[in-house]
Structure 1
Amino acid sequence: MRSWPAADSQRRAAVKRRAERDNLEQGVRYRRMFVALLGIVVVVSAAVVLLGTVGLIAETRSRPLTPAEQNQYKEEEIARRWQAWPATGVFPEEVKYLGLDRAQQYARRVGIAPETDCGKAMDAAVAGVLEDHGCVTVLRATYIDQTASFVITVGVAVLKDEESRVSATEELTQDDRVGVLPVAFPGTVTERFGTEQRQRTAWVGAGPYIVFSAAGYADGRTRAAVPPEELLHSELWPAAKSIGNQIAYFLADPPKVPPCTQGNVC
């Protein structure tokens, strides 16, 4: 039996409408899936940003320093002083010391020498030890006592850190004939102070520094010309030792530590 054209047209139109409806429904489903996926991505991204922001704020906000951080602050502050301070800060113009009868007196700085390699500022026996332990440089200045009778050269050996300084001092000789090389300044009372005029030498450790001192008489007397018993009872060595210790104290004096990571307010 032959189909009528009108019936076929209606059937084809119905099929087409169903196909269009199915395509539309599929498109709606895909759009819903895309919107849901996009929402998940946005939520996850926002959560990551929020967590990162919270972590950054927690990390950077001011808080009390821990004991380890306080110690680190002190060590770093002391270790950089030889560079951060002017030369006149390392070697003050006047340094207090105790004279006869423990009277307070003042040594006066005559001059400051240029920064020197460790091997050139010390006797060989001392220089070798310093260089083996990572000596960075040596700073030197020369002082005279209040009576202008004694000449004292103070040398600051800068080590990499305090641990290196401790290791170096464990190997330094106790021979008081060797140490820092004297620095004389022509045209001053110190101009006759040389290696032969050193009566005694010594050192003291402070932070990453070893502070050496070498003392002699301004009149140019050599060590060989002074009887040992005279030197032992002289005011020379106590004055020189006191001056060296004062400079070591200045360099290693613990700084005031801020209570918080961003200053005084936590």
Structure 2
Amino acid sequence: MKARRSTSGLPRADEATPGRSNPLGASTGRRSRVRAWPGANSRTRAAAKERAEMVALQQGIRFRRIFVTLVGAVVAVSALVVLLGTIGLLNETRSRPLTPAEQNTYKQEEIARRWQAWPATGVFPEEVKYLGLDRAQQYARRVGIAPETACGKAVDASVAGLLDSHGCVTMLRATYVDQTSTFVITVGVAVLKDEESRVSASEQLGQDDRVGVLPVAFPGTVTERFGTEQRQRTGWVGAGPYIVFSTAGYADGRTRAAVPPEEILHSELWPAAKSIGNQIAYFLADPPKVPPCTQGNVC
């Protein structure tokens, strides 16, 4: 079919010759297209991903090495501290010979707790040896043990204030009779807080034989007539943290005032009473056997 022509004899605009370019450079009758940038191929993407993974892996390895190093250092330091502590503990607790100062401390502590650690019958034995006439050995018999009491309630007022000011803890008392049941002797153990306090109190106590421990009588026994007025003489002796008082009188109830000064009726009484008090003081303060090592007999 032939193309239509205009009346002027020229072709119509919509009938332009195929392939002929318009002034903008686009082919006549076709839509213009924008050429896209070529995309990255799969090999490039894979290589980039692999490099990123490798970088992340290497960074993780570095972090792990740092972490492991820190943990190792902490564990090593902790182990060293535990080791040093164990060595120190073993050095402190291992058995070793006692030093002279430790031996002395052991003795003092052992003596100081005897009044509590021992039974009352241990502090005041049932029988106590003493020297009678012509230095004959005889035995005093314990009649009874009084209840533990405050120091101030078991001694004369002038002595009570002194004991209290030096930290007297308590007073233990028991009453004995001599082998013939003629003499009655009350022994009192004043417990001071330590040996230094006892020494200080002893320096101020004096030797007034009219004051000291108060007698303890037990009704229904030969001692029932022994009271404050019946005391013929009193005395004391220091031993460790203890002051051991003793006072003596006659079982028949005679008072001190009833005995004329020129009559020495108690020439046997007081040596016996003093000997009994000294024996009890010796029992309490007798130095214990000290183990040679901190953990017994084996160092």
Smaller-chain TM-score bracket:
over 0.9
Amino acid at match of 1:22: V
Q: Tell me how far 1:3 sits from its aligned partner.
A: 5.8
More deviation, 251-260/22-31: 22-31
* 2:53 matched residue in structure 1: 20
Q: Tell me how far 1:96 sits from its aligned partner.
A: 0.6
* 2:228 matched residue in structure 1: 195
- Provide the rounded CA distance (Å) in 2 between the counterparts of 1:253 and 1:28: 75
Structure-to-structure mapping, 1:52-71, within 5 angstroms:
52-71=85-104
| 1:135 maps to 2:168 | yes
- Cα deviation digits, residues 201-242 of structure 1 (max 9, x gap): 000000000000001111111111112243376111111111
Structure-to-structure mapping, 1:249-264, within 5 angstroms:
249-264=282-297
TM-score, normalised with respect to structure 1: 0.95
- Provide the rounded CA distance (Å) in 1 between the counterparts of 2:298 and 2:226: 53
- Provide the rounded CA distance (Å) in 1 between the counterparts of 2:85 and 2:72: 20
Q: Tell me how far 1:2 sits from its aligned partner.
A: 8.1
* 1:153 matched residue in structure 2: 186
| 1:123 maps to 2:156 | yes
Residue 97 of structure 1, aligned match among 127, 130, 147: 130
Contact persistence 1:138–1:156 (CA under 8 A): yes
TM-score, normalised with respect to structure 2: 0.85
Contact persistence 1:107–1:146 (CA under 8 A): yes
- Provide the rounded CA distance (Å) in 2 between the counterparts of 1:98 and 1:230: 22
- Provide the rounded CA distance (Å) in 1 between the counterparts of 2:202 and 2:157: 15
Segments of 5+ residues of structure 2 without an aligned counterpart are: 1-34
Contact persistence 1:126–1:173 (CA under 8 A): no
- Provide the rounded CA distance (Å) in 1 between the counterparts of 2:106 and 2:279: 23
Contact persistence 1:93–1:109 (CA under 8 A): yes
Q: Tell me how far 1:12 sits from its aligned partner.
A: 3.8
* 1:177 matched residue in structure 2: 210
* 1:47 matched residue in structure 2: 80
- Provide the rounded CA distance (Å) in 2 between the counterparts of 1:14 and 1:187: 117
Secondary structure of the 1:178 match is coil
* 2:197 matched residue in structure 1: 164
- Cα deviation digits, residues 27-73 of structure 1 (max 9, x gap): 11111111222221221121112112111111111111111111111
* 1:236 matched residue in structure 2: 269
| 1:218 maps to 2:230 | no
* 2:115 matched residue in structure 1: 82
- Provide the rounded CA distance (Å) in 1 between the counterparts of 2:105 and 2:237: 22
**Length, aligned pairs only:** 265
* 1:113 matched residue in structure 2: 146
Runs of 4+ off more than 6 Å: none
Greater share of residues in helix: 1
Contact persistence 1:118–1:138 (CA under 8 A): yes
Q: CA RMSD in A?
A: 1.7
Segments of 5+ residues of structure 1 without an aligned counterpart are: none
- Provide the rounded CA distance (Å) in 2 between the counterparts of 1:247 and 1:151: 16
- Provide the rounded CA distance (Å) in 2 between the counterparts of 1:229 and 1:98: 24
Secondary structure of the 2:235 match is strand
Contact persistence 1:116–1:138 (CA under 8 A): yes
Secondary structure of the 2:175 match is strand
Amino acid at match of 1:114: P
Amino acid at match of 1:76: E
- Provide the rounded CA distance (Å) in 2 between the counterparts of 1:17 and 1:116: 95
